[in-house]
Amino acid sequence: MTSLVLGASLLVKLVMLLLLLASLWSWTVIFTKRALIRRARRDADKFEESFWSAGDLTDLYNRITQRGHEPAGLERIFEAGIKEFARLRQQEEIEPMAILEGAQRSMRVALNREIEDLEQSLPLLATVGSVSPYIGLFGTVWGIMNAFQALGNVHQATLAMVAPGISEALVATAMGLFAAIPAVVGYNSYSSEIDYLFSRYDIFLEEFYSILHRQAHS
């Protein structure tokens, strides 16, 4: 394999280098995103347990704010909703529905920002997965073209003469697939995971909204 790579033309080597960098970049995103999604699911389980077992939501909010770190996931949605709910409720002559609508908007904004954070760098995997095979194919075509052009200088062409050049060119196709397949698998897997988290966050938002609705009309 090393001799095939080193024996390739300059352009094919550049194609291989580009595919190698794309593969390393996509694997970095894959492992980073894997850790991020696992942490998001673990934090969601932990917060839901605390939320439904809490006797007073104000105490839960105080515990979250006193931790000294930026809330994420369901904590971010909860904090945005209860903070806006408390702020609007302190204002005089404001209708309960206006309070609820303001709290719901704040929670929706927090939800969208959380999903944006989860989806960050995910388009990179889609790009690598869709483009890498064509980049590898370009290197293959260029390498095969050079191999056949070299036959023009000989009187009798044999398979042994053209086989090394074709083998070198096909390495680019293999590297393109090596970069594309993990990126596509990672993109599809993480897109499904993020959709699940979005659904879970949205369900919590509606449940929390129902609780705020009862408090606003109490």
**Rama region for 121: left / alpha / beta (φ>0; ψ in -120 to 50; rest):** left
pLDDT in tens, 16-34: 889 999 999 999 999 999 9
pLDDT tens per residue, range 120-131: 989 999 999 999
Residues 6 or more apart in contact with residue 148 via CB below 8 angstroms: 162, 165
- Other CB atoms within 10 A of residue 120 CB: 13
For residue 126, the one-letter residue type is A
pLDDT at residue 168 greater than cutoff 80: no
For residue 203, count other CB atoms closer than 10 A to its CB: 10
Domain count, the chain: 1
Confidence (pLDDT) at 119: 92
Mean of per-residue pLDDT scores for the chain: 86
Contact in structure between 64 and 79 (CB atoms under 8 Å): yes
Q: What angle do CA 201, 45, 87 make, to 5 degrees?
A: 50
User: Is the confidence at residue 43, as pLDDT, over 70?
Assistant: yes
Structural domain boundaries, residue 169: 2-216
Confidence band, pLDDT 50/70/90 cuts, at residue 216 = confident
Q: What are φ and ψ of residue 203, in 5° steps?
A: -65, -45
Q: pLDDT digits over 57-103, tens only?
A: 888 888 888 876 778 889 999 999 999 998 888 887 888 899 899 99
pTM for this prediction: 0.83
When pLDDT is cut at 50, 70 and 90, the band that residue 174 belongs to is confident
